[in-house]
Structure 1
Amino acid sequence: MVRDTAAPTGLIPSDKMLGLSTMFVVLAALCWGLSGGIGGILTGQGWDPVVVSFYRGAIGLLFVLVWLVLRPRGSGLASRRLWFWSAIAGVGVAGNFAFYFVSIAEGSVAVAATLMYCAPVFVYLVSFTLKLERPTLPKWAAIAMVILGIVLLTGIYEVGADDVTLIAAIAGLLSGLSYAVFIFGFKYAAPHGSPQAILVIAFAVLTAILIGLSDAEQTVAVLSTPSWPLFVILGVLGAGLSFVLYIIGLNHTAPAVASIVAMVEPVTASLFGVVVLNESLAALQIFGMALILVTVTALSVYSSVKKESPTTIPLAE
């Protein structure tokens, strides 16, 4: 593990270190959940999802840059492989942010957050294809359950249903697929450098991609809008503080535990949508959501019991 990103274990008793690390992961997931709600507010005000995503990533870049400056040891920035895989991770996180907010704008925070939570399923499917992971009956059964949950959540079985638009459903799934790309990019970059260096490159790539896709007029207008504090909070919670807390927390948190507490994100986002944005879900949609969350979490825990889960970001040794 990258020990320079957390307090030395000799200074804090191991049980307290484990508790503190788990709390960091919980706080990161909570921040991500809240960022979905804040993104819902901003897109509801008419801000373009790509512009919202750009500011989330750009502010996150500032945070990880500071982290790299404070912890420059073992950055690996001279490694070409680090740059290549970190850039792949950047493409993934750019797609994840943008598609997530498109899904929110076209649908709801609860649906978008839950569909994005399907990312581990995409990781397994790609792993099966590349023969990085051995397919087993429990894994295929879990994937089938997730697909059933998606059908119930989106209501695609109901002809003429308009609770969840096709764009919202596709964008939500693409956000999960994009996050799977980020996980793979981070996984293969990790042996060549520090997490903070990987994130700096990834967020720099994200910023370059999204600034090119953003509406120039809206991008500039953010600087003078009364809503600018929400953009700042979104960047701090959704990409800056959250990623730092999550990576540090994973230093001493078992993958199984991280997989379970990650449920805080979609649950928080869903509650935000219901309580603050007055969103609502039908009974079958709630059942589908629960089916997805429980199955994905169980799948991740099952894998981490066998070995380190590919759905959890691995840190450099």
Structure 2
Amino acid sequence: MRFAGVGLVMLAAVCWGISGGIGDILMNKGWDPIVISFYRGAVAFICFLAWFLIRFRKNWLFSTHLYIWSLLAGVGVAGNFTFYFLSIQASSIAVAATLMYTAPVFVLLISFVLRLERSTWFKWGCITGVLLGIILLTGAYSTDSISVSFLGAAAGLAAGLSYALFIFGFKNASSIGNPPTTLTIAFFSFCLILYLFADNEETASVLTSSDIGWFLLLGIVGAGLSFILYVIGIRRTAPTTASMVAMVEPVTASLFGFLLLGDHLTTIQIIGMVIILLTVTILSVKRSD
């Protein structure tokens, strides 16, 4: 059980990587990214609400701090999804992914300021290794083929900051309440926020679309199952460790694209994947010790 927390966070990241491939399929079919994000969270919310109501008396807890942290976690998830897609639209997937995964830097700095964790050379080395792997995997090093706008860069960094926010939100909320309560509150705020920004007509058309199966699969795998694993796992994992272990997401997304979507991996991308996996493995072993 020594690796339980890290293992659950890693499984959640694998689900997120798969959901990225499903989202790519839906975008190629012409669906708006915000609508896709909304249904990813809405399907998960229905699952969490049912889980919460089944054992209502045990799950119900009145705590102001629980509500605040859960709502902040929901805001973080909504911001992460939304800014990530905006960054892709304004620049490229490579830039968006690289900037979003600056989240460990935000988490480490916030943890240091709040004195939740101690800054060490080992943690900075892990962050550097993971970010190097992300850059190689996404191809962000090739400036000739990437056009970075101010909006794209700002949205990408905002996605990373939002990622850090939901890590802290879930970490604090899960220490007060149980997973069903935390997830239900968080994804209620998520759905409310994204509904305000989504195209209402397109959102309604999903229900009668032939792609409804993809949306359901995206919600179950990309948010329902993944966030259950994540919230349980993060209760046993430090915020910085959780954010870095979750870096296996882009590796999973790349493998999904290679195996099912016909994308090809270059030698440099494979090197990037190896660096990420080695860093996560070393971090997991060190954290367990």
Q: Indicate the TM-score class for this superposition, using the shorter chain for normalisation.
A: 0.7 to 0.9
Aligned to 1:315: none
Deviates more, 1:37-46 or 1:184-193: 184-193
Deviates more, 1:172-181 or 1:35-44: 172-181
Aligned to 1:283: 267
Distance 1:293 1:94, change over 3 A: farther
Q: Equivalents in 2 of 1:192, 1:254: separation in Å?
A: 15
Candidates 16, 24, 32, aligned match of 1:48: 32
Deviates more, 1:64-73 or 1:27-36: 27-36
Distance 1:144 1:33, change over 3 A: closer
Deviates more, 1:203-212 or 1:277-286: 277-286
Give, in angstroms, the shift of residue 187 of structure 1: 1.9
Q: Say whether the 8 Å CA contact 1:114–1:292 is kept in structure 2.
A: no
SS in 1 for 2:175: helix
Matches within 5 A, 1:123-202: 123-162=107-146, 174-202=158-186
For the pair 1:96 / 2:80, whether they are aligned, the reply is yes
**5+ residue gaps in structure 2?**
none
**5+ residue gaps in structure 1?**
1-14, 307-317
- TM (norm. structure 1) is 0.73
Give, in angstroms, the shift of residue 66 of structure 1: 1.0
Aligned to 1:10: none
SS in 2 for 1:217: helix
Residue type matched to 2:227 in 1?
F
Distance 1:245 1:143, change over 3 A: closer
Aligned residues: 286
Candidates 152, 176, 196, aligned match of 1:212: 196
Q: Equivalents in 2 of 1:19, 1:194: separation in Å?
A: 21
- TM (norm. structure 2) is 0.79
Q: Equivalents in 2 of 1:276, 1:111: separation in Å?
A: 23
Percent identity, aligned pairs only?
A: 53
- Coordinate RMSD, CA, aligned: 3.7
Residue type matched to 1:148 in 2?
L
Q: Say whether the 8 Å CA contact 1:155–1:285 is kept in structure 2.
A: yes
Give, in angstroms, the shift of residue 183 of structure 1: 1.3
Matches within 5 A, 1:242-281: 242-247=226-231, 265-281=249-265
Deviates more, 1:146-155 or 1:127-136: 146-155
Residue type matched to 2:114 in 1?
L
Q: Equivalents in 2 of 1:160, 1:267: separation in Å?
A: 24
More helix by proportion, 1 or 2?
2
Q: Say whether the 8 Å CA contact 1:92–1:182 is kept in structure 2.
A: yes
SS in 1 for 2:82: helix
Question: Residues 9-48 of structure 1, C-alpha deviation per residue, up to 9 Å, x if partnerless?
Answer: xxxxxx8xx9999987665444322211100101122211
